Amino acid sequence: MQTEITNLTQSQVEQEQREFIVNVYKWMSMGLFLTAAVAYIVSGSKLITDFIFGNMLVFFGLIIAEVLLVGHLAVNVKKMTASTAMNTFLGYSALNGLTLSCIFLLYTAASITTTFVVTAGTFGIMSFYGYVTKKDLTSIGNICFMALIGLIIASLVNMFLNNGMMYWIITYAGILIFVGLTAYDTQKIKQLNIIGNSGTEEDVKESISGALILYLDFINLFLMLLRLFGNKK
C-alpha cells in the first residue's frame, strides 16, 4: 500500500482499499463480459469465423495485435489519460473476443457454462485469499512467474511434438500456476493502490491496470480448465 500525504484514519484507509478493489473487479468483469459477448456474436457468423480462422495470416495477425495492445497498455498506462486507458482495455477485451470465438465453435454450451462457473468460483476464492491474507505471497508469485515461462516454452514445443502426456502436464501445471498468480496478483494490486487519491484520474488508471492483470489470470485459468471440462461438439 502506498500513501499520499493524508489525514485518513485506519478505517478510512481500509474503506478506500475496499472501494479500489471493487472498482478493479468492476472493470475486470466489464472486460470479461465484452470478451464473451463478442466471442458469442462472432461465433454465430460463418462469414466472420471463416475469415478469421480460415486464413492463418488474419488469425496470427489478431494474436500479434493482442500482444502489442496488452503490452502497450501494461507499459504505458501511467502516461495515458484515464479515458485512453479505459478504451485501450475495452478494445483489447473486444479483440480477445474475436480470437476466443472458436470456443463456441469447438465446445458445447453446457460445458462452457460449467467451466465458467468452476473458473469463477476458483478465481473468487483465491482472489479473496490474496486480499485478506497477512502472509507475503511474493515468493509464491515468483515461483509461479518462473513456472509460467517454462509453461509457455513447453506449450510452444508441444505444438510440434503433439504429445498427449505433455498436453495434460501443461494443463494441470497451468491450472496451478494461474491459481497461485490470482492470489499473488490480488495482493500485489492491493499493495500498489495509492491511498489518498480516490476518485482521481490516477485512481482510475490504477483500477484499469489491476483489472487487466486479473482479467488475464481469469482468462488463462478458464482456458486451462476448459481442457478438463470442455466437451467438444
pTM to 2 decimal places: 0.94
CA 145 → CA 139, 178, 206, distances in Å?
10, 9, 22
Torsion angles phi and psi, residue 198, rounded to 5: -55, 130
**Which tens digits make up the pLDDT trace of 162-202?**
999 999 999 999 999 999 999 999 999 998 887 777 778 99
- Specify the DSSP element, H or E, that contains 60: helix 56-76
Report the distance separating Cα 175 and Cα 223, nearest Å.
9
C-alpha cell at 88: 485501450
pLDDT at 113: 96
Report the distance separating Cα 214 and Cα 27, nearest Å.
10
Strands (E), 8-51: none
Report the distance separating Cα 217 and Cα 185, nearest Å.
9
pLDDT at 3: 52
What parts of the chain have a pLDDT lower than 70? 1-8
C-alpha cell at 83: 479515458
pLDDT at 4: 52
pLDDT at 5: 45
Report the distance separating Cα 59 and Cα 221, nearest Å.
22
